[in-house]
Structure 1
Amino acid sequence: MKTAAVLAFSASLFAQGAYSWGAMGHATVAYIASNYMNGAAKTFVSHILDGATPASVASWADTYRYTAAGRFSAGFHYIDAHDTVPHSCNIDLERDCGAEGCVVYAIANYTERVQMTNLTAIERTDALKFIIHFLGDITQPLHTENLDVGGNDITVQWGEGSKSKTNLHAIWDRQIPETLAGGSTDAVAEKFAKAIVKDIESGIYKDQKDSWVSCDSITKGAACPKVWAADANSFVCTVVLPNGVDAVQGTDLSTEYYEKAAPIARQQLAKGGYRLGMWLNSIAAAVNSR
């Protein structure tokens, strides 16, 4: 029989990051990445995914985690920073990555596994699908925070009316990016991604993009994913909860809060897509050099 402590842990595990950018957000990350994959990466990805596109499998991990077979992966979608929001935000792997694992080590693990030719085709396919998803997850600030189960236990509103009640994590997963993009469909994600790519190439992100991949070595294990997690976590103190929980609890976040948060959410999606494209290029190069 499960103890109360185990049951509580299990509930927390599945509550944390219930959506993780939402399907539209993850598809956006994948579409951006596809613009930055070179020929070798496109061939490698198509082979491993048996012809499927990164965007088409971008949310697979969110569905898989709720199956009996995928239950083990629930904790891989986030890292629980036990910091002191809003006074100090930081990532400490020894402190924050629990026994069940976390997104930082999951990226490192599946990056290694997708290159292993002694694994089955299914195992390598799953590894790649995890990578595509987790490089999106790790850019969502509340996927790098422990406070109130990554914001899932912070009740807020999105618009007026009795049906507007939701939680802070869901706001960042869905309402903010979907409002930015103008919808939640795959077609919306593709159009949104094109606009972001334009800004990466010649717009507001042009001078930032190199810093997004300043750590880009797939041979350093968890080193680069930790850098990305710390980057996302910093926004918990500066943008997500700059004035603490009480400042947002029970309030409508669809107006002034959205105006401040939206540019950061868009930037984080851009980072996830750009990093994913470069990461897949490096994986394909490593496999082809053997």
Structure 2
Amino acid sequence: MLLLPLLLAFLPQTLAWGALGHRTVAYLASLSFTPHTTRLTNFLLHGQDISEAALFPDKIRYIPSFAYTRAWHYIDAADSPPHQCGINITRDCAVETGCVVSAIANHTERVGNDSLPLWQRGQSLRFVLHFFGDVHQPLHTEAEDRGGNEYAVVFDGRATNLHSVWDTLIANKHAGLGHDDEELAAWNWALWLHALNQADQPPERVCMRDPAKCALGWAGEANAYVCSYVLAHDVHGRDLGGEYYEGAVPIIEDMVRKAGRRLGAWVNAIFEDISLANLEAMKVLETPSPEMFVQEL
């Protein structure tokens, strides 16, 4: 346990949507929380910044004891872009490992399961916060070239891969991360997207009766962009920091915006029938264990 923070410092930094995107989705969701949801979220996260909590699954997935969580970050559609895109849950979500669709459903249930200890429910809340970002990232719904990880491109003169372009580089350039610190850039972007949601988007309706069906639909929506734009043309070796970037920005905004709006409605629905008093009573009875502190790193 003492070595874990040191180990985290040396882990790979490739994150879905990058840290900026995940922070923005979490902040955007929090702007639509009810006061009740805000209180319960803060309780289960022990007051941790919600955008920091959303980074937890990426921070721990390369630790050997958490290796089983790696497949939860994506669903590998075995389709044929750019000619044909589409997700088949029985084909693309391995029963043995799970995928982002099954992970959203599973951890949604665990957050509201009062038979679980609070630290496990808090950990599952962190997974939910994170996986809503993942399921809305087009290349986290695609098997081609390992979701673009093996697709060599250039971005603003820097050699990289297509997955990193969509995870991090487009969002960072668009949201002005070079001029602000990460949390501030994410908060400002979330405020902008929230204003757009308030102006022209109806309240998101959530199909909580079948979380897997909901998540599958969102994954299919993101996957459609793989054919319509992400791999619509051969971009091998091209610099994507110009015209391609300009065309990608509206897609990034659309997906981050939807992820945050949907996540806000989702967490509100989870906590609607959960009492803060009951959680506080459970906390009094719980015995601290080392596992309780891993989730806050």
TM-score norm. by structure 2 comes to 0.85
Q: Secondary structure at the match of 1:287?
A: coil
Pairwise CA distance, 1:64: 1.1
Match of 2:230 in 1: 240
Q: Secondary structure at the match of 1:226?
A: helix
Match of 1:92 in 2: 88
Please tell me whether residue 71 in structure 1 is matched to residue 61 in structure 2.
no
CA-to-partner distance for each residue in 1:163-183, whole Å, 9 max, x for gaps? x11000000011100111000
Q: Secondary structure at the match of 2:272?
A: helix
Q: Secondary structure at the match of 2:165?
A: helix
Question: Pick from 144, 157, 163: which aligns with 1:169?
Answer: 163
Q: Secondary structure at the match of 2:153?
A: strand
Question: Pick from 70, 95, 99: which aligns with 1:102?
Answer: 99
Pairwise CA distance, 1:286: 3.7
Match of 2:52 in 1: 56
- Structure 1: how far apart are the matches of 2:147 and 2:196? 29
Q: Is the 8 A contact 1:20 1:140 kept in 2?
A: yes
- Structure 2: how far apart are the matches of 1:141 and 1:107? 17
- Structure 2: how far apart are the matches of 1:55 and 1:63? 13
Pairwise CA distance, 1:69: 2.3
Match of 1:154 in 2: 151
CA-to-partner distance for each residue in 1:32-88, whole Å, 9 max, x for gaps? 001111112112111111122321211111011111221110000000001110111
Please tell me whether residue 20 in structure 1 is matched to residue 16 in structure 2.
yes
Unaligned runs of 5+ in 1: 1-13
- Structure 1: how far apart are the matches of 2:45 and 2:64? 22
Q: Is the 8 A contact 1:107 1:134 kept in 2?
A: yes
Match of 1:221 in 2: 211
Q: Is the 8 A contact 1:25 1:189 kept in 2?
A: yes
Please tell me whether residue 262 in structure 1 is matched to residue 258 in structure 2.
no
Please tell me whether residue 281 in structure 1 is matched to residue 268 in structure 2.
yes
Aligned residue runs from structure 1 range 127-138, under 5 A: 127-138=124-135
Pairwise CA distance, 1:18: 3.7
C-alpha distance 18-102 of structure 1, shift in aligned 2 (>3 A): farther
Unaligned runs of 5+ in 2: 1-10, 279-297
Shift >4 Å, 4+ stretches: none
Which residue identity is paired with 1:109? N
Which residue identity is paired with 2:60? Y
Match of 2:110 in 1: 113
TM-score norm. by structure 1 comes to 0.87
C-alpha distance 18-75 of structure 1, shift in aligned 2 (>3 A): farther
CA-to-partner distance for each residue in 1:127-184, whole Å, 9 max, x for gaps? 0000000001110000000000000000000122xxx110000000111001110006
Cα RMSD, aligned residues only: 1.9
- Structure 1: how far apart are the matches of 2:236 and 2:211? 38
Pairwise CA distance, 1:288: 4.5
Pairwise CA distance, 1:19: 1.3
Please tell me whether residue 82 in structure 1 is matched to residue 78 in structure 2.
yes
- Structure 2: how far apart are the matches of 1:222 and 1:178? 30
- Structure 1: how far apart are the matches of 2:150 and 2:29? 32
Which residue identity is paired with 1:241? L
- Structure 1: how far apart are the matches of 2:101 and 2:52? 23
Pairwise CA distance, 1:219: 2.3
Q: Secondary structure at the match of 1:70?
A: helix
Q: Is the 8 A contact 1:111 1:218 kept in 2?
A: no
